[in-house]
Amino acid sequence: MMARAGSEPKGHVFVIAAPSGTGKTTICRRLLERDPRLRLSISHTTRESRPGEKEGVDYHFVSAEAFRELVEADGFLEHAEYGGNVYGTSFRAIEEPIDGGLDVLLEIEVQGASQVRERRPAACLIFILPPNLEVLEDRLRGRGTDEESVIQRRMSLVDRELAAANIFDYAVINDDLDEAVSEVHEVIAAIRDRRGAEITLRYGRAGVLERWGQSLKA
């Protein structure tokens, strides 16, 4: 289900990933409101829906058996276990909009992003960082959707997710939401215009992670 040899996708794939609680969902929603060329890829998941979430809008909520059948049929571009549940992006979710000249936004976990890097190397991967780990934990608690054990499990994954950030192209720190949305959109616009090299100095993953790490020590 990969693109045929010699065929050139008409749209781009933009991956937004981050530790849970960093704000990637809100950033993606703001990007969709701002940019009519973006389409959100609706992921499949085995987790239960949260209050206010809608089938086919927030996720495709499926059973573990149905998810496993899709994996066996090679129906996913990426899939990953996170927090005791499984999430995945189907090929179908991205191929139709891309073939129509639209750009697809994938809001996924870091583990899934590594699979996108392998299976679709041309995708642009953007990592979202919290201001610091204390703010991250406060945001998780402030959501009021997870039990304490889930919060602790998510926090225990953060070091591993940060270590895996080297697969990403760009990074943005979500300290101020409006500013973070604008910065991610600046990256998207530059990739569309083939100006990726111009924004590497400001948003290149290695430089941003270094500056972020230094700020934690200050």
Domain ranges of the chain: 13-41+103-217
- Looking at residue 23, what is its pLDDT? 87
Closest CA to 180 of 24, 68, 6, 5: 24
Is residue 14 a contact partner of residue 124, using CB atoms and an 8 Å limit? yes
Q: What is the CATH number of domain 13-41+103-217?
A: 3.40.50.300
- Sign, CA torsion 51/55/59/64: positive
Residue 184 CA to residue 201 CA, distance in Å, equals 14
What is the CB neighbour count within 10 angstroms for residue 18? 28
Q: What residue has token string 């604008």?
A: 182
- What lies within 8 Å, CB to CB, of 19 at 6+ separation is 110, 130, 136, 154, 157, 158, 161, 162
For residue 143, what pLDDT is reported?
Answer: 65
CA–CA gap between residue 174 and residue 128 (Å, rounded): 7
pLDDT tens over the chain, length 218 residues: 444 444 566 899 999 998 877 889 999 999 999 999 999 999 999 999 989 999 999 899 999 999 999 999 999 999 988 878 999 999 999 998 999 999 999 999 888 899 999 999 999 999 999 887 776 667 667 766 667 766 666 666 677 788 888 999 999 999 999 999 999 999 999 999 999 999 999 999 999 999 888 887 76
